[in-house]
Amino acid sequence: MDQTREQLPFDILFVGAGPANLASAIHLMELAREKKMKIEVGMIEKGNTIGSHAISGAILDPIALKELIPDYLERGCPIEQTECRDNLYFLTRKGGFSIPFTPKYLHNEACLVISLSKFTRWLGGLAEEMGVNIFPGFAGTEVLYNADASCVIGVRTGDKGIDKHGKKKSNYEPGIDLIAKVSVFGEGSKGSLIRDLGKKMDIFSNKMPQVFETAIKEVIEIPESSPFLSAETTVLHTFGYPLRLNKKGGGFLYRLKDNRVCCGLVVALDYQDPFLEPYEAFLRFKRHPLIAEIIQGGKVLQQGAKTLSAGGYYTMPALVANGTVFVGDSASMLNTQRLKGIHTAMKSGMIAAEAIIFALEKNDFSTKTLKKYELGVEKSWIKDERYKARNFTQALSQKGFLKFMHIGAQYFTGGRGLKDPLTIRKDNSTLKTLTPKKANKTKTAVPQHFDGTLYVDKLTGVYLSGTKHEEDQPCHLIVHDTRICETKCFESYRNPCALFCPGKVYEIKEGPQGKRQLVINPANCLHCKTCEVKDPFENITWTCPEGGGGPNYSMV
């Protein structure tokens, strides 16, 4: 370990201030208080405030919230909508119809619509009141191990004040080594630390590959005259157009407080067409007559994007290793079948807290002792709920009528279906190589018209996400071999990164003599991680930029 760095010791360190880690920290402090244990707990968050990087649909099943904070209403939990009256639509290009039978797992009557950004800020305030030391603006950039790398001993935060050439600026501050008996990773989907940790501690072996979806979401202020504000339905989910039946994903529109709605589209990243552009599909979704009628005359207040770890039960990594546990999206806790994961993320954090207290009492932080967390998850309602959905994402990846046969069979067999387990492919292996004829056509998208208010282009979307980065810092998007972009990737796929990135970060420019060149605009990065997931050559690695950079979400 570099002895010139400051060290800060904690009993427990939480990496990331999302719902899983915040629920875990609150439960941990409660348990410690009950047992009269004095513990030092730290939490780092790469966003500049708690909640500034938190974005989700977000329909919350309050089951874990009620267990954690039974009087959540009295304590000011920010809720956008308590009445969730669902409608599921199949959309065609110009029309669609409401599905008369909605499977039980898609019913949301007992749920709440929230803004994850506001919700995590509220949870963060409670955690701080209970004595958790939260450090926003600090990104964990390296996992620290003991001498033989058999045990996690903490996390190093990123240096600040390094210029784009790697030289120290006048405001240089070295990162700090945060040392802890247990480090809890709740980094969210496709975390950069768990990637490295996974390799060193082998937590992903014998699991199905993790697979992801990209979601783009907006909060839109709509006129009082919008029919949606007086409609019976408050929660609308759609499938079909603009993705068609062979592409996984769907749209959503939820009523919020104060004449606002949230509107979004989720696109599974196992798609095959290199010309598919999730952002453009989202705009087409907004222009569909059913949606356009609701939002017309409206104004986008905020936009954001993220990936979801959608693989489900069979893609869940080992949940513990020596000195560490993984919670929430870091542990692939989302239930794709129910289109929600905040409740499972929170519950995973709470069960982890119970295992950590047990480990503190024993003063033993080995895998063997922390396994209590893994066993707790297996005995909890998380397992019951997710096991029923264990083949769901895989079934959705099937083509044609087979998809519906698998889903139908799973419905009647408690998730087993026609084959158990159903296998799944890694997202970066699914793009189809373009034939010379198709490649010459280049992108075939319908031209979009932007009005800058309701229909905004990518750069305006980045602006509306509040994204800011220190410009003079090393590029946090590592493209390992730019020759691949300029040759093989162009020839086979026409550089899909320029399309799948919702932040317009990647561009291929033609230089002198027609030479192609990759240009990266890292300051636009929304931290969604789509590029690391979908790049067909696994040529892009997302790393943490200087702490405090990135989106500044406040209402998504």
Q: Which residues bind ligand SF4 (CB under 6 A)?
A: 477, 501-503, 505, 525-531, 542
CB of 426 to ligand SF4, least distance (A): 17
Taking CA atoms, 253 is separated from 282, 309, 344, 370, in Å, by 12, 21, 22, 40
CB of 188 to ligand SF4, least distance (A): 12
Q: 3-class SS at 441?
A: helix
Q: Tokens in use for 261?
A: 């709605």
CB of 449 to ligand SF4, least distance (A): 23
CB of 215 to ligand SF4, least distance (A): 12
Question: Which is nearer to ligand SF4, 54 or 359 (by Cβ)?
Answer: 54
**H or E segment at 287?**
helix 278-287
CB of 311 to ligand SF4, least distance (A): 19
Rounded CA-CA distance 54/186 in Å is 12
Taking CA atoms, 269 is separated from 98, 140, 247, 362, 556, in Å, by 26, 26, 9, 43, 22
| Mode of pairing for the β-strands spanning 140-145 and 152-157 | antiparallel
Question: Which is nearer to ligand SF4, 233 or 543 (by Cβ)?
Answer: 543
Question: Which is nearer to ligand SF4, 312 or 545 (by Cβ)?
Answer: 545
Question: Which is nearer to ligand SF4, 317 or 502 (by Cβ)?
Answer: 502
Question: Which is nearer to ligand SF4, 86 or 273 (by Cβ)?
Answer: 273
Half-sphere exposure of 202 (CA within 13 A, CB side): 5
Closest CA to 318 of 210, 198, 439, 214: 198
Residue tagged 């010139």 (tokens): 4
- DSSP for residue 51: T
CB of 178 to ligand SF4, least distance (A): 25
Question: Which is nearer to ligand SF4, 405 or 523 (by Cβ)?
Answer: 523
Question: Which is nearer to ligand SF4, 189 or 322 (by Cβ)?
Answer: 189
CB of 549 to ligand SF4, least distance (A): 11
Q: Which residues are CB-neighbours of 485 under 8 A, at least 6 positions away?
A: 479, 495, 497, 508, 516, 518, 539
